């Protein structure tokens, strides 16, 4: 009985401690905490061109398709490497694959494959002129982007704008609610890239056009991108 009394007393003590902890937790809950966010934006010229060339081959035999694709890609690489230059125009292979063709009877009656070469860099004139010289592949896609340096610079400027806007808004809201100021509790910073209007679509040009013949450069024109940085978090009003 004495041991049972000790156990009951211990349980009562634990229950009492839990109740105090719960009460303390309720009392320690934050008050006068404000959630808010602010953004900064920089509009910058896209300075990176990504031009994809490709070709499709068909033959009854898979090995023949692979050999034809390899020949076309090797010729394109040889031509492109003559003008390659770090950051200005870099050359890399793209997709390379083959798949079977099926007849009405469900049996394989041939093979088709595709190979791609990608020219990427800041020197638009060099890239488009090189594309015009490659006879074994056709331009299939054109896309624009921001270089790492341009994006980093834009994000830094947009982030500074967002931080100042966040601080100004927190100050104004604190005063609006009758408080003298605020202290920062927590904050998160996020960035993304946007386009003013519909995002530029990649241009599909499966066949050589007159503009690409006789070493003619491919006509391209880059647009502008908006780099947006958002600062969100909470402040303690005081």
Q: What is the pLDDT of residues 57-83, one digit of tens each?
A: 999 999 999 999 999 999 999 999 999
Query: Which residue shows structure tokens 């088709």?
Result: 112
- Do 236 and 30 touch, CB atoms closer than 8 A? yes
> Alpha-carbon distance 141 to 18, whole Å?
66
β-bridge pairing 108-121 and 182-194: unpaired
pLDDT number for residue 31 = 85
Below-70 pLDDT ranges, the chain? 1-29, 194-217
> Alpha-carbon distance 238 to 228, whole Å?
30
Instruction: Show the CA angle centred on residue 145, arms to residues 141 and 146, nearest 5°.
Output: 160
- Do 216 and 17 touch, CB atoms closer than 8 A? no
> Alpha-carbon distance 52 to 78, whole Å?
16
30-46+147-200+224-238 and 48-145 share one fold = no
Q: Domain 48-145: give its CATH superfamily.
A: Protein of unknown function (DUF541), domain 2 (3.30.70.2970)
Query: Which residue shows structure tokens 């950051």?
Result: 87
- Do 119 and 82 touch, CB atoms closer than 8 A? no
Instruction: Show the CA angle centred on residue 73, arms to residues 68 and 76, nearest 5°.
Output: 130
pLDDT number for residue 9 = 37
The fold for domain 30-46+147-200+224-238 equals Translation Initiation Factor IF3 (3.30.110)
C-alpha distances (whole Å) from 19 to each of 5, 10, 16, 28, 134 are 21, 14, 5, 14, 79
pLDDT number for residue 219 = 79
> Alpha-carbon distance 233 to 33, whole Å?
10
| Burial of residue 34 (number of CB atoms within 10 Å: 0-12, 13-18, 19+) | middle
* DSSP bridge partners of 89: 85
pLDDT number for residue 195 = 56
Domain extents for the chain? 30-46+147-200+224-238, 48-145
pLDDT number for residue 192 = 87
pLDDT number for residue 118 = 97
pLDDT number for residue 198 = 40
């Amino acid at each position: 009985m004495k041991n049972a009394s000790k156990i009951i007393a211990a349980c009562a003590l634990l229950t009492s401690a839990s109740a105090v902890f719960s009460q303390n937790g309720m009392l320690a809950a934050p008050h006068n905490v404000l959630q808010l966010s602010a953004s900064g934006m920089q509009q910058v010229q896209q300075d990176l061109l990504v031009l994809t060339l490709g070709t499709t081959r068909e033959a009854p035999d898979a090995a023949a398709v692979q050999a034809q694709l390899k020949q076309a890609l090797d010729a394109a690489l040889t031509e492109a490497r003559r003008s390659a230059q770090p950051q200005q125009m870099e050359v890399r292979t793209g997709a390379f694959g083959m798949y079977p063709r099926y007849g009405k009877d469900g049996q394989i009656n041939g093979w088709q494959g595709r190979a791609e070469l990608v020219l990427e860099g800041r020197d638009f004139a060099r890239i488009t002129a090189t594309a015009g010289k490659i006879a074994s592949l056709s331009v299939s896609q054109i896309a624009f982007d921001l270089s790492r340096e341009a994006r980093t610079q834009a994000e830094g400027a947009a982030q500074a704008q967002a931080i100042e806007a966040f601080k100004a808004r927190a100050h104004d809201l604190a005063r609006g609610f009758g408080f003298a100021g605020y202290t920062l509790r927590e904050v998160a910073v996020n960035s993304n890239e946007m386009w003013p209007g519909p995002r530029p679509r990649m241009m599909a040009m499966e066949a050589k056009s007159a503009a690409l013949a006789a070493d003619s450069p491919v006509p391209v024109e880059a647009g502008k991108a908006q780099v947006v940085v958002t600062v969100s978090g909470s402040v303690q009003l005081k």
